[in-house]
């Protein structure tokens, strides 16, 4: 017959093993997150795997590096220094800046010029970027020439403004870093530019697209990724605007008029299967193009696009064919 003391020990052992079992299963479904601020916004990463301290430090280095490459707010950033250089001079640029400008060039061609990253002076005039007490006269002609071996020739005095592509590029670099280090299941968000990859413990990552008419972050549509890579970028004037003389001045500029866009599109989202950089730039490009032309170009080029069009009192969701194909 078992003694009372032995029975107590067996009970304690069973309770202990049960607690270990519960803790183990709880950790199996645990997510890990890191966050911070950069580029005038916030960033966060959620992973189903533990993000070690050295990974967090390296991710912050990536974010800071792209800030020093592409920020218009840092007088000593690479792009700010280039903005002050004379025209028709061959300049050496970093690998990352070369990549950003190359992708921007592609989106410029896709959008027939609606996407233009040389509107920095106009943006500064409207109060959406610093002017550094410099001349803000915009040249009628702009452009740049990329040469192999990371060379750039500016073809006008206009300033580069990479705010519509830099966050997406940083998100892409972080994704590639996480993949290289076997942190495959993750959600990366920098100011609304996102990548989701893999799953959240076999459950799809869910991304809510904010209702532009809501003041409490209500979602107008929810995207579920199907265990694959997906980059998501949203452009909308509800995110960044100011009022002047009872008129809304938005941060998105039409290169043809050099004025803030006046569009029926309240919000526009791009979902891309390969690149957050392209998604970021495309969202701005299609917002400039406007409805219905943006929808037609998206369908012609197999691009997944969602638009919220209308007014504050009434809005409608419109999707491209590719959006339906991806079952988003």
Q: Is residue 168 part of a domain?
A: yes
Per-residue pLDDT tens listing for the chain (328 residues):
555 554 454 444 444 433 333 333 434 578 999 999 999 899 999 999 999 999 999 999 999 999 999 998 899 999 999 999 999 989 999 999 999 999 999 999 999 999 999 998 888 888 777 766 667 778 777 889 999 889 999 999 999 999 999 999 999 999 999 999 999 999 999 999 999 999 999 899 999 988 877 766 788 899 988 789 999 999 876 555 545 555 556 678 888 888 888 878 899 999 999 999 999 999 999 999 999 999 999 999 999 999 999 876 788 999 999 999 999 9
d(CA 267, CA 277): 18
Q: Is residue 152 part of a domain?
A: no
Q: Is residue 170 part of a domain?
A: yes
Q: Is residue 9 part of a domain?
A: no
d(CA 148, CA 170): 23
The total number of structural domains in the chain stands at 1
Residue 247 belongs to domain spanning: 32-57+164-325
Q: Is residue 119 part of a domain?
A: no
Handedness of CA 266, 289, 207, 50 (dihedral sign): negative
CATH number at residue 258: 3.10.520.10
* Residue (of 176, 202, 198) closest to 187 by Cα position: 198
Note the pTM of the prediction, 2 decimals.
0.88
d(CA 150, CA 250): 33
Q: Is residue 64 part of a domain?
A: no
d(CA 34, CA 56): 7
Q: Is residue 146 part of a domain?
A: no
Q: Is residue 108 part of a domain?
A: no
């Amino acid at each position: 017959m078992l003694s009372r003391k032995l029975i107590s020990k067996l009970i304690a052992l069973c309770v202990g093993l049960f607690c270990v079992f519960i803790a183990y299963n709880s950790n199996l479904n645990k997510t890990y997150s890191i966050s911070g601020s950069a580029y005038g916004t916030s960033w966060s990463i959620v992973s189903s795997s533990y993000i070690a301290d050295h990974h967090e430090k390296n991710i912050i280095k990536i974010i800071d590096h792209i800030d020093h490459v592409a920020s218009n707010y840092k007088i000593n950033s690479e792009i700010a220094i280039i903005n002050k250089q004379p025209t028709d001079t061959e300049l050496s640029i970093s690998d990352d800046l070369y990549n950003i400008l190359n992708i921007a060039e592609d989106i410029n061609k896709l959008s027939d010029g609606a996407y233009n990253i040389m509107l920095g002076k106009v943006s500064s005039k409207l109060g959406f970027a610093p002017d550094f007490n410099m001349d803000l006269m915009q040249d009628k002609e702009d452009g740049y020439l990329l040469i192999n071996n990371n060379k750039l020739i500016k073809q006008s005095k206009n300033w580069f403004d990479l705010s519509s592509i830099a966050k997406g590029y940083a998100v892409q670099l972080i994704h590639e870093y996480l993949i290289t280090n076997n942190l495959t299941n993750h959600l990366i968000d920098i100011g609304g530019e996102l990548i989701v990859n893999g799953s959240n413990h076999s459950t799809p990552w869910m991304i809510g697209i904010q209702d532009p008419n809501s003041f409490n972050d209500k979602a107008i549509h929810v995207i579920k990724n199907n265990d694959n890579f997906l980059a998501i970028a949203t452009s909308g004037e509800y995110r960044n605007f100011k009022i002047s003389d009872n008129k809304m001045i938005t941060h998105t500029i039409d290169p043809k008029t050099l004025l803030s866009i006046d569009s029926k599109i309240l919000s526009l989202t791009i979902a891309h299967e390969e690149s957050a950089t392209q998604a970021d730039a495309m969202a701005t490009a299609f917002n400039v193009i406007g409805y219905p032309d943006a929808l037609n170009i998206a369908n012609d080029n197999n691009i997944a696009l969602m638009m919220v069009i209308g007014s504050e009192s009434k809005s409608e969701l419109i999707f491209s064919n590719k959006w339906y194909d991806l079952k988003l």
